[in-house]
Each structure stands twice: as C-alpha cells, then as structure tokens.
Structure 1
C-alpha cells in the first residue's frame, strides 16, 4: 500500500489542566486516615451523649407534665371540698348509718349498745399497786405455801373430783384447781379450831368452804361466790389465820412489824363482825398453848384507835378494816404493808364498784410485794368477775349457784300494799313469826319513822342507818343480837354480810331499786342451813323494771309468783331477744343499758366531779 492512501492522524486536543488555588472556598486539604478515624469516633461519641441528654430531657418533661396534672387535680378536689358543706357530709353519714340500722333487728342494736357500754367499763386499768403499774411488774406464778392435801385426795381421778363438785353444785374455773375436801380434819386444820367449830355445831364444811379453803390454803388467788349465810367468812379467814400462825412460828413479830394480811369490808358493822369472828378463832387456837397468840386490829371509822393501843404496841398479824380508816392509818405510817401478802375483800363487788374503786387502788399502792388476793360476795356480776380475772394471778373461780341468785332456804312472799297502808300491815306481818325480825327501808327518814311507830305500838325496836353515830349503831346491833330488842329497822347498811342469830323473818318495807340489794336483804334469814321467811311490800311506786327483776328472781328460785307480777311483760321478749341477765348488777329483768346500778354509779361520779370543781379552793 502506498503512502498516499494511509489515514491521517488527527490531533487530539486535551482539556486544560485544572488550576489550584489555596484561596478557593471549595478547597479541602488532605487529612490522613488515622486522623479521619479519630474524628469519626469523636463524632459518634458526642452523638451518643447528646442522645442520652435528649432522653433525660424528655423524661423530665413528662414527669413535669404529670406533676402539673396532679396539682391541677388536687386543686379541683380542694375546690370541690370547699364547695361541699359539713351538713351534706353529715346527711350522707346519717343516711349510711340509717341504711345499716334498717338491716339490723332491735335485738342486735341492743346487743351492740350493751357491748359498747361493757367495753367502756372494761377499759379501766387493772387492780394493781402504783409500783406495779409504773414498772410494768406482772406476776406469773401464785404464792407458794407449805400446805398440801392428803395423799389419798391427791390421788383421786378427775372423774371422782368432778362428781364430788357436781354433788355439792360447785362450779369452778381456772387452771390446776386444788381438789375439794369434804372434812375439816383432811384440810389439816389444827385440833383447837376443830374443837371450837364443833362446839358451835359446825361439823362439816359448806360447799364454798369445801372447795374454797383448799384453794386458799394452796396460795391461789380466788373469786368466791356463794349464797348469803353459806359460811364465806370462815373460808377466807381460816387461811389468813394459818398463814399468820406460820409466820409467827418462824420468827416472832415485834412492835412495828406486820400485818401478814388484811380483810377489807364495805361497812363498819361487817368489819366489826368479821373482827369478832377472827378474835374467837385465834383465841381458840392459842388457848391450849400449842400455837402462838395472834394480834388482830380493827381499823374502822367512828372508834378511837387509842382503845387498841395495846394491839398497836405489839407486832400485828391481821388487820380488819374499812377503806377510809385504813388509808388514813397507812398514810400516817401507823403500820405498813411492806410484808403484807394476803388481801381479802368481803362483798368485793361493792368494793370494786365506782364508789369504792379509787380507795381500793389507793390501798393497793401501799403493797411492796406479791400478795394473794381473794374476792368474796353473794352477788358478783359478770362485769366484776371479768375485771377481777384481769387483776388476779392465775385465779380460781369458785361458784356455788348463780351469782346474784336468791338463797333457796328463804321463802319469798311478795305483797301488794298501798303506800298509806304499809305501817298498819307491818304490824300484821310481825305476827307471822316470833322475834327477832329485821325491817328494811332504803330511806333513812322512813327508818326513823318506822321505829317511832313501832315504839308507839309497844314493840321493842331499834334503828340503824348511815347517819347515826357509831355508838348508836353499835348499841342497836348489840341489843338486837342479845335479844333485848325484838325488831331492828335498818337501811341497806345492815344488809351486806351481817350475821344475826336465828332471824326467822325479814320484812322489806320498801323494795330497793337494785335487785342485788334485795338478794342481800332477804339473805339475813335462812342462814347456815336454816329456813326463813322474807315478806316484801310493793305497790305503784315500785319501778316496773324492778318488779320484772323480782319476777324472774322468784321464778328462778321456784317461788310462788303473785298474779300482778305475772302480768308484767318483758319488752325484750317481744323483740325476740335472749333474756340474759345484766352483767353489771346480775338482774335478770333488764340489760346493761337500763341498769339502775350503772345509772347511780354515773350519778355519784358526776356529783363527785362537781363537788371537786366547786370546792377546789375550800378548806
């Protein structure tokens, strides 16, 4: 091929080279790889931190919003509360209660009301000394004594013991109760006292003694309930005498020492009677010289203590007292309770009632050591039993018959007598039996009027009530007991615990409001296994509730119920309620909300508060 046919090479024009300038805005200098990695890592790290901050900020914002909403809601509620009146709230509460009450029966309402009152009574503090209450001292074990029942009695089976209690109608409550003992000799009572009791025709223990004396000998705290005239005094005095005798035999007492035990009584007359009994038993014990002589002090108002200076100058073993004078003697330090380890309260329901409770607590404050405590009465309502159970140490309840029931040895006659005919009918009633006779009236002026009327009619009569001097009261009791006077006209002061010989007839001129007082009054007859008659005058002036209590008491004792009493209807029966007795006074015809005893106690308490306020700055 020729050179002329060869293709011509075309000149390719290149694009112009870029011109670089350090002043150009788009200039990006070269960054080494290591630096670029470091920069990227820093960027990623800062992005994570910013993300956490954003999350925290978001959460805080949500919390603030919730708080604002809650505040707003609270403001709305507060505004609603301010707009809501107390009257509206009261109406709503009343409406709610009305709906609840509408669903309850009358019986349930009454039971709830009774339970509230009982709870208020039960809220009182225990029967304990100030030292024990302040330091929180509580005893768990009873006092230890050296007495043990005979071996053959200890080995009796539970079934044998149960049958023996059933035989004598003894009801017991408590733990590890000592067995009943049917013979004084098996109780390990000293021969001189056994001979003395035999001379008084007391050969075997009564039911309350049969179980009560072994319990007391064992050092156990005890609540003893038994009919009037059933021998309760011996049941609580004999263990005290034996304890004092044992202490004296260990180390004779000298002046300023003692007492070993104290017996508290609600009235001077009852204290005097208990004191005389203890004197007789202690003298019989020391008569033959085998046992030491015991010193007993009577500490009651109305008598001069200087008359008993011969007793005060020796070591004291036993004190029988009423609360007021005992507190006075303890405050004056005439004797102390530093070594006292036995306390018995006779007619304990009266001692613990509102009228005496503060005095009893005051007396408790003088005790410096553990003591054995015994409470005895014929009328011991459930309220007092529950209160005592809380205050005593492992107590044993010994109950012979229902607490507050009438003595079955008394024939109860209820007569409807108009007020103006009572005096004339009284003379007719006195012809029923031979003297001595006791006539009861709760009104002091009426007591004096009856005595004056009987004296004008030629009847040898004496009168006793709380407003008479101690000398007049002692003269009346002494002349009546000796047989110099045929009739004693008395207020309630002579109804509690006093023991008169061979009273065949008791006349209740005016029926007491409280059924407890009636039980004690008719209990002055039919004592120590003997029979007696109790005639009671009632009329339109007698409250219907009292008549209802009387009706149920007569029915319980199997006595004849007069027609006018049978016509009285129990409002609780119409409501379909259970006819359980009042826990405050034991009356069967009413509940606690209608209890006259509780009303009187509240009235006395209010009166004492008023007198304290009015006489706060007096002399």
Structure 2
C-alpha cells in the first residue's frame, strides 16, 4: 500500500517522500486509518515494524487539517528513554518538514538552556511534545504546562515503561490531561499489567497485533558457550578475524560495558560506550559518531536494544544472554535492517544456559553453537537441562587464558 493511498495533505506527502518512505508496513496500514478516524488504538508492535510513522503520520495530518488551540500542547508522546524521545523527534522533524507543525523533545540530562527551551514550549504551547515520564512530571509539578487543548496521547513502548517503574508517573501525567482525547498505546508485549492500564486509559480501543515473535530470517544467529573469563578474549578474536560494517555489543551491566570498552580500546579499534552514567550530550555525540561510521564498535547496555534506527549494523553481539526472548529479538533486530543481511552472536556462560534454552524455545529451534577456539582453553558443554556446577573457570579448575534514513531534502532558499 502506498502512502498516497491514505489521502494525506500534500505537505505531509512531500515530507514522506523526502524521508524516503515508500510502501506502508502492515502496522501502518492498520493503524493509520484508525487514527485518522479518531479511534483509540492498542497495538502490539515491536521496534522495526514502522510503528513510529504509524502514529506520527496521521497525527501530523490531523494537526494540519484541524483548527488548533495555539496556546496549548496538542499531542503528547510518552516514551521510556531519552534516546527514543530524540529519535522520534528526529522522525517528526523529517516528516513534518514541509508543514508548520511544531515539536519538541523533553527529557532529562540536559543543561540550563535546554530547560529554558522546554519551559517556553510547554507554557506557550507546542503541537507535539515527545517526553520521558519523569522529566514531564517535573515540569507539570512547576505549574506552567498548558494541557487544556490537548487532543492526543500516545504511549510508546508501554511495557518497557512499566518495567522501568514509570506506572505512577504516567498515571499522574494522565491525571493532568483533558478527559476527552484520543489515546494510542503501543507495546511490544501485552502482559496483564499493560491491559489493565489500557482499560483505565483507552476508550473502546481497536486492537492491532503486529508483534514480531521471531527474528528476521536474514539474521545469521550463532552462539558460543563460554566461561565468563573467555568472553573478552573471544570478542577481540572475533572482531580481528572478520571486518563488519559496524558492530553493536550489548552487555547486561554498566560495569561490563566499561570493562569491555577499555579492553577493546587497547586493540586500537574505533570503539566507544553508551550507558546511563554518561551525560546526555556525550551519549548523543557517541551515537552520532556510530551512526555516521566514525565508530566501528559501540558497546552498550540495553538502553539501545529498542528504538535505535541504524540500517548498516553488520554484527550484534550479546556479550551476556538477554533477560528473555523478547529482549533477545529486540537486540538482534538491530541488524539485518533495510533489506540487508546481518549476524547475531550470543555468548552463553554456564549460569546463563537455562535462560538461553528458554530463548531457543521461543525461537522454535536451537541457535547453532560455534566451537570456541582451543587457544582460549576448554569451554563448557551446553547442558541447560541438567544441573550445572558453580562456574569456576573449567571443570579441571584451571581458568582459561585472558586474553538513518537519508535526511529530508532542504527547503528551497
């Protein structure tokens, strides 16, 4: 289905074409007509399905087409992380480039100038505000946020926001909004707590299910069963053996990210790290360098597992086994985007074997296990269904050796 089939305003069509959007994805085909018709929507849709454009496009079109309260926020998009807020704001800027629709991202970690800009937009009115819950609630508590003309509320990655403990903040924000509004809720999964929240927020919603339960078939999935002490030397070995367009490595903790980044820098690789200890300016700078290709390797916590929109990642490496199958699909889904092929490698330690077996059950098939090169010492067997001893290095007690889419065309001057 072409985007011209939705009968969008020509100014929005210009932005769509400049952003190199062509065919609508399944979630866009189903969600866009519902939003244009004024329906509330609850959609199960993961990153990579096109859900961001599924709500931004009809939102922009409705704002263009309807008389607005110039001194109020028209639409509020609530997301779990500053990275996702920034990314959606960038999509918004590109798609609305040829319109007069205004938008701003509101998130923590900025400086005094960012706060002043946010306060001005929230008090004077803006068409679309994309925010994280905590920062928006802080502004609301100061008493100047203008919601009286708000018409749209969008909750993106609602399951992740609840996992991060934002339920109370979200409900406080919603308590400050007009009761009459259109509501859209997007979530990768639909556990009971999401459906309970949906019942409190949405009015007779249409339900869409575009959840991707299995990874892209173009992703080559591999796993190495290792001891913890073998992980860093094996990462170095893999990155030296083959050159990938770019490499995204996920670790389960900030300490692991920092340690691995230090070790990889010693190999002279173009590598950097992203985690919540970094100031926002630094995180944006690192991500920009990775997107532009100045960095070959990015080591990150799960802060980047959802929402990062980079089309040329050749390898996703799970330094630690993800928490569950959904997280696994999100992580490895960062590769093999935009019709490309990609590789996903997971390191499975002794204590992570049962967790990885659960992920394989979700996938419906085992992930092929590669042989750990013998120079790194003996590796553990993969026996997730049996009792496994506490990891001490090896069964002999000897530890192994250490070792964006193209931007829109500019307006004519």
TM-score bucket (shorter structure): 0.7 to 0.9
Q: How many matched pairs?
A: 374
Equivalent in the alignment of 1:441? 251
Runs of 5+ consecutive residues of structure 2 not aligned to the other structure: 371-379, 388-413
Instruction: Look up the SS of the partner of 1:209 in the other structure.
Output: helix
Note the C-alpha offset of 1:390: 5.6
Note the C-alpha offset of 1:409: 4.0
Q: Which of 352, 359, 370 is the equivalent residue of 2:169?
A: 359
Note the C-alpha offset of 1:366: 0.3
Runs of 5+ consecutive residues of structure 1 not aligned to the other structure: 1-181, 287-292, 572-619
Equivalent in the alignment of 2:206? 396
Note the C-alpha offset of 1:405: 4.1
Residues 256-313 of structure 1 deviation map (CA, whole Å, 9 limit, x = unaligned): x121111111001110111111112111x32xxxxxx122121111112224577468
Q: Which of 209, 213, 222 is the equivalent residue of 2:32?
A: 213
Residues 12-69 of structure 1 deviation map (CA, whole Å, 9 limit, x = unaligned): xxxxxxxxxxxxxxxxxxxxxxxxxxxxxxxxxxxxxxxxxxxxxxxxxxxxxxxxxx
Equivalent in the alignment of 1:472? 282
Equivalent in the alignment of 2:88? 274
**In the aligned structure 2, how far is the partner of 1:565 from the partner of 1:235?**
45
Alignment CA distance shift 1:310-1:529 (3 Å):
farther
CA contact (8 A) 1:338 1:366 kept: no
Note the C-alpha offset of 1:373: 1.4
What value does the CA root-mean-square deviation take over the aligned residues?
A: 2.6
**In the aligned structure 2, how far is the partner of 1:426 from the partner of 1:549?**
24
TM-score by length of 2: 0.83
CA contact (8 A) 1:410 1:534 kept: yes
**In the aligned structure 1, how far is the partner of 2:244 from the partner of 2:11?**
35
Equivalent in the alignment of 1:330? 140
Equivalent in the alignment of 2:47? 228
Alignment CA distance shift 1:354-1:454 (3 Å):
closer
Instruction: Look up the SS of the partner of 2:166 in the other structure.
Output: helix
Instruction: Look up the SS of the partner of 2:160 in the other structure.
Output: helix
Alignment CA distance shift 1:429-1:399 (3 Å):
farther
Instruction: Look up the SS of the partner of 2:350 in the other structure.
Output: coil
Equivalent in the alignment of 1:416? 225
Residues 530-575 of structure 1 deviation map (CA, whole Å, 9 limit, x = unaligned): 332211100202152x1232121332xx66454999854499xxxx
Q: Which of 448, 454, 459 is the equivalent residue of 2:269?
A: 459
Alignment CA distance shift 1:383-1:548 (3 Å):
farther
Note the C-alpha offset of 1:318: 0.7
TM-score by length of 1: 0.56
Bigger Cα Rg: 1
Equivalent in the alignment of 1:201? 20
Residues 332-379 of structure 1 deviation map (CA, whole Å, 9 limit, x = unaligned): 133222221211111111123471111111111101231211121333
Equivalent in the alignment of 1:188? 7
Alignment CA distance shift 1:393-1:476 (3 Å):
same
Alignment CA distance shift 1:432-1:371 (3 Å):
farther
Instruction: Look up the SS of the partner of 2:172 in the other structure.
Output: helix
**In the aligned structure 1, how far is the partner of 2:367 from the partner of 2:249?**
22
CA contact (8 A) 2:27 2:49 kept: yes
CA contact (8 A) 2:218 2:342 kept: yes
Alignment CA distance shift 1:568-1:251 (3 Å):
closer
The structure that is strand-richer by fraction is 2
CA contact (8 A) 1:412 1:554 kept: no
Which structure exhibits the higher relative contact order, with contacts defined as CA atoms closer than 8 Å and separated by 6 or more residues? Answer: 2
CA contact (8 A) 2:214 2:363 kept: no
Equivalent in the alignment of 1:294? 101
1:426 aligns with 2:245: no
Equivalent in the alignment of 1:514? 324
CA contact (8 A) 1:464 1:491 kept: yes
Note the C-alpha offset of 1:327: 0.6
CA contact (8 A) 1:551 1:565 kept: no
Equivalent in the alignment of 1:485? 295
Residues 558-608 of structure 1 deviation map (CA, whole Å, 9 limit, x = unaligned): 66454999854499xxxxxxxxxxxxxxxxxxxxxxxxxxxxxxxxxxxxx
The structure that is helix-richer by fraction is 1
